[in-house]
Chains A and B, each alone.
Chain A
Amino acid sequence: MERKRHLLGLEGVSAEDIQVLLDSAETMIEISQRDVKKVPVLRGKTVVNLFLENSTRTRISFEIAAKRLSADTINLSGGGSSLSKGETLADTARNLAAMSPDAIVIRHPSAGAAILLAEVLDCPIINAGDGAHEHPTQALLDLFTIRQAKPELKGLTVTIVGDILHSRVARSNIYGLLTLGAKVRLCGPPTLLPPMFEHLGAELHYDLATAVRDADVMMMLRIQRERQGHNFFPTLDEYARYFCLTEELLAEASSDVIILHPGPMNRGIEISSGVADGPYSLMMNQVANGVAMRMAVLYQLIIPGHDGIRGSEIPERTPTSATG
């Protein structure tokens, strides 16, 4: 029996699979630059975009990606945790299964939602962000953007700055970057950067100036204004005072440093306008690459047997024993 392939996160995904996806995105970039930006490879296939948390950007990116591959798309969205009141995610999933989709893209406010879907459904599941868990396509497009700018990911120093604790983007990037041999520095106030992150294989910094030093890539995360109300930091002003990437700080980075930001950015809070609009900022490339990367992911997961990526395994719960 053919095993279903999913992209639930980048934790545990092999370097080979990531490379296949990045290479595939290379081809998709080429398609996106054509006059007629459409190829028939997914004609007759149906992609369901199940967005149970607001995210216009990611949803549009996936929708364009599916359309460029000629897939039919169905968009389902809802603010809450279920489409109709009282319905569980598993029931929503079973209803979707009746539509025989060829892939489901899910965005959900709760960690583990994509995995739950993969357990009950019989088609590829693509995690478009589940709570603070993972956002693998964002990390893949970040890796792709870095690879466009740098000859090799291996050996690069990548610094991720911001609310690491609550960030699925940070988690997926940590896994992807480490798998491809980059060094990862994490930076933020201790309230948003618990020591446990060190166990994932990253270096921790509470001081932005040291975290910037000789960095090849600076990845600035969006700071959520709500965190201020929970005392993770006193005020946005004070946050900016210590963690806003400015041109002065950037002078200490590697001379060909590049800047990434998953967007939408808060100018003057995590990133100064000078840096955001500077030549080393690749934010617009990220947006364009996002479509290509998602085309690659849809293609690789829907077309069976192609380059044979394994993608994510559904985590197993192995029974054990108390027999001593």
Chain B
Amino acid sequence: MNTETQNAARRILVKGGHLIDPSRDVSEKADVLITAGVVEAIDKPGAIPSDGAEVVDARGLFVAPGFVDMHVHLREPGYEYKETVATGCLSAVVGGVTSVACMANTNPVNDSGAVTKYIIDKAKVAGLANVFPVGAVSIGLGGEALAEFGEMFEAGIVAVSDDGHPIMKSSLMRHALEYAKMFGIPVIAHEEDLDLCCGGVMNEGLMSIRLGLEGIPSVGESAMVARDIELARYTGGRLHVAHVSTAESVEMVRRAKHDGLDVTCEATPHHFTLDDSAVAGYNTNAKMYPPLRTERDVAAVRAGIADGTVDSIATDHAPHHRDEKASHFDEAAKGVVGLETVLPLTLALVRDETLTLERMVDALSTQPARNLGIERGTLARGSVADLVVFDADRAWNVNATELASKSKNTPFDGWEMRGKVTRTIVAGRSVWEDAA
């Protein structure tokens, strides 16, 4: 089946919705006509004749550039029992995410052009979301020797990261920031000083004291953020701070941006929604690195998203098999899935007036696309038609067993949510439609 010719024939008119496109500062009722995979026309409601196009009725709904999630673990190759590129992409489009950047901690590690290409090929076969691989900073994520950025870049990576394996060797981080400049890609940093965090399994605080679990001090993160911001300042490199979780880190990123450094930053829905009280009862679905912090940190992360310090929202979607979470807390796998709950959790910030809807779409689509330097996150005329239609009010309950992801490790199981994706379009192709 030749999708190119199919796309050429396919015309979709998204009609009657409220269009939000922060890339052009647009937030108004408008119809969008898609032809041959690109946005052909945008006009006042009713102004574009359907002319044989498939009509998507978006009345009462919002239309936005598809979400771009810069922090996803697709697990393939190597851990297909947790997730595959195909199941991860399905989970993505169910959640309105049309582009994912997938981390390098697969097996083998994505530290070569061959693995990068393998992932891209798998994504093509799946034909759902766009997949932009992130290459490893160091060979085998070993934290010692620089991987071949050039070979991976030519195969299609959009960033480098040793996510999950914080770079303890400061000279490696320095050289990564410098060398990545050759390709104009950011270094995405998982900021935890392993020496300070050593052995910890949850945030260090009253909750870890009560549960008798080894704590991870917040300074373990902020000390590394401080180091890497100074390295970015010194080298002029592009630093992206992944899953920021502490008030101090947010404040340091704020100052770095104020100083004009090339520093960007993301936060996850779990870090802006939950605090460490979610670990009560040794809930292994509340175990992840960096850990859930305190109420004060949650407030700081939210304020950071509101003022743009935390420019992007990313899920750190980290699928794990049920058995890996059924263990006692010390031994349980770390990480949670997030692609299918990112919209309602972010809409909660809109409802409590932390964010405007426009800023929400900016953080979910426009900013992360800019951070990765990919031509997405916009619905300007002529751009790739990656688009999400959502109902901001629809109530639904999370039932982990019904998630499209192969893994069900969500801390939000049983939660009542508001806001649901009703249609996801990738390159002019409708890849997901809510049945209800």
Q: What residues of chain A have their CB less than 8 Å away from a CB belonging to chain B?
A: 11, 81, 88-90, 108-113, 115-116, 130-134, 165, 168, 171, 194, 196-197, 199-200, 314-317, 319-324
Contacts and interface: CB of A to CB of B under 8 A. Distances in A.
What is the predominant secondary structure among interface residues of chain A facing chain B? loop
Contacts of B329: 110-112
Contacts, number: 99
A112 B282 contact: yes
Contact of A323 (B323, B331, B395, B414): B395
Contacts of A81: 328, 331
Interface stretch (B31-39, B142-150, B344-352, B427-435): B344-352
Contacts of A316: 281
Given A197-B209, A323-B348, A115 B281 contact: yes
Interface of B: 204-206, 209-214, 273, 280-283, 323, 326-331, 344-345, 347-348, 351-352, 395, 412-418
Contacts of B209: 165, 194, 196-197, 199-200
Given A196-B206, A199-B206, A88 B282 contact: no
Given A90-B327, A112-B328, A165-B209, 19 more contacts: A88-B327, A110-B329, A110-B331, A111-B330, A112-B211, A112-B329, A116-B282, A131-B213, A131-B330, A171-B210, A194-B204, A196-B206, A315-B281, A315-B282, A317-B281, A319-B416, A322-B273, A323-B348, A324-B347
B211 A314 contact: no
A134 B329 CA distance: 15
Contacts of B273: 322
Sorted nearest first, the 5 A-B pairs with minimum C-beta distance are: A324-B351, A133-B212, A319-B414, A112-B282, A315-B281
Contacts of A320: 415-416
28 contacts: A11-B210, A81-B328, A108-B328, A109-B330, A110-B328, A111-B212, A111-B329, A112-B212, A112-B329, A116-B282, A131-B213, A132-B213, A132-B214, A165-B209, A171-B212, A196-B205, A197-B209, A200-B209, A317-B281, A319-B414, A319-B416, A321-B415, A322-B418, A323-B351, A323-B395, A324-B347, A324-B352, A324-B418
B211 to A, nearest CB: 6
Contacts of B344: 322
Nearest to A135: B212
Contacts of A194: 204, 209
A133 to B, nearest CB: 3
A150 to B, nearest CB: 28
B212 A89 contact: no
Nearest to A120: B326
B328 to A, nearest CB: 4
A152 B204 CA distance: 36
